[in-house]
Structure 1
Amino acid sequence: MRYSIAKALSLLIILSIWACGFSTEKRRPKRIQDTLEERVVKKVSEAEIINKTTQLGDSITQVVGAVFMSKISKEYARGGYEAAAKYCSMNAYPLTDSLADQYKVFLKRVSNKNRNPINTPSDIEKNILEAFEYSSERGDEIGANVQFIRPGDTILYNKPIKIPSKLCLNCHGTKNQISKEVQAILKKEYPNDKAINYEVGDLRGMWSLKFLKKEIVQKL
């Protein structure tokens, strides 16, 4: 009799567990499950990747350009064109590097008429820049260019840089527009300077950014 009662109680407990949806399968801890879900490969199209890269590149270059011009304008207000030229020669590249670190991207400016040899374009950048120059000479509208770099795990973003205002001509205009003090600074800092004789609206060069494809995919 006692055996029958015990057996009945055991059966009742088992039925109750099943009724509650209990599974005897061993469950993964939530942290492990979340990690596995994060590792699932996202299936996105090439067009989606290019669009996202374009959005990020446009946003970053807009902010970087605004920060750079703000710094130059403040130096000009403080000490005129000579102060602005000195600031640019000493701080332009550290500023670019710090912003690149902030956004975690490879970031630089390149030009075929560079002031600093650091701004010399690579072979692939040179081809893109020449295409920009050709379109600019024809009067065509030019926007950002995005392409995959072999073997395909890196994406290159390039955007034209134009002379935005007359303020820039005090360092990049004709000799008549550049003061003797600024010319002296440029000659000392950049003896092989080619970045002169520009007008407002001229193509100065281009931004060049590199993104890792996997990081773009993660943002989609």
Structure 2
Amino acid sequence: MKQTLLLSIPILACFLLFSCGQKNVQNDLDAETYQQLLKTGSEVSAQAQASLLAHVSSAMKQGGSLYAVEFCKLKASSITDSLSNQYNCTISRVSEKNRNPENNLKTEADKQLWAWAHQLDEPMKDTVVVVKSKAVYYKPIRTGLPACLQCHGPVETIAPETYQKLQTLYPNDLATGYQLNELRGLWKIEFAQKN
């Protein structure tokens, strides 16, 4: 009973957040539209994730984690921007512990969903909310591969030259200290809401 009550609190908090001026899409759109946005968001985020992982994997093979860090700094945004143009949406990643300051939790919805994801007893599922007349899809990003930890793991496990490069390129880096399968961020895909 206690566990059910504890699980209900964050769900209730999210309901209250999105029913007070920032409505849940299911309350604002028909079920078919909601499901379509969920499907499209899943497809776009999967393609973005696969593209970034393929490029980072290739960079790791070319020059290890040191080269991959520089590659990410120079190319990650252009990869997501290209997909944003292709799908007519805005693709970003947000996190409380970001590497790129542009990926901070910008909106109240970002902050609430981040807090909610950390309170759940089970992994957060993809969700869609409406914020200021835009449908926004969120999907958790986890440190799913051991290779992720070469740049995002505990500082003492990151190669010293890679850590130094991270400090040079991202002086305010917060995206270290993760363990395998830990929540690292959220994909955030903003679609213009259709009337």
The question of a shared fold, defined as TM-score above 0.5 by the shorter chain, is answered with: yes
Q: What is the alpha-carbon distance in structure 2 between the residues aligned to residue 141 and residue 75 of structure 1?
A: 30
Q: CA RMSD in A?
A: 1.5
Runs of 5+ consecutive residues of structure 1 not aligned to the other structure = 1-44
Q: Return the TM-score normalized by structure 1.
A: 0.72
Tell me the alpha carbon deviations over residues 92-145 of structure 1, each in whole angstroms, 9 at most, x when there is no partner: 11211111111110110000001111001122111111111211xx3x132111
Match of 2:129 in 1: 147
TM-score by length of 2: 0.81
**Match of 2:124, as an amino acid?**
I
Provide the rounded CA distance (Å) in 1 between the counterparts of 2:131 and 2:177: 34
Q: Residue 184 of structure 1 corresponds to which residue in structure 2?
A: 164
Instruction: Supply the distance in 2 between the matched residues of 1:95 and 1:185 (Cα, whole angstroms).
Output: 21
Aligned residue in 2 for 1:67: 51
1:53 pairs, out of 16, 19, 37, with 37
More RCO (CA 8 Å, sep 6+):
2
Cα distance in structure 2, aligned partners of 1:159 and 1:147: 12
Aligned partners of 1:141 and 1:73: how far apart in 2? Answer: 26
Whether the 8 Å CA contact 1:50–1:147 is kept in 2: the answer is: no
1:169–1:178 contact (8 Å) kept in structure 2: yes
- Residue aligning to 1:3: none
Counterpart Cα distance in 1 of 2:173 and 2:65:
18
Q: Distance in 2 between matches of 1:141 and 1:202?
A: 10
1:57-206 superposed matches below 5 A = 57-122=41-106, 123-135=108-120, 138=121, 140-150=122-132, 152=133, 154-206=134-186
Which 4+ runs in 1 deviate beyond 6 A? none
Query: Over alpha carbons, which structure has the higher Rg?
Result: 1
Give identity over the alignment, percent: 31
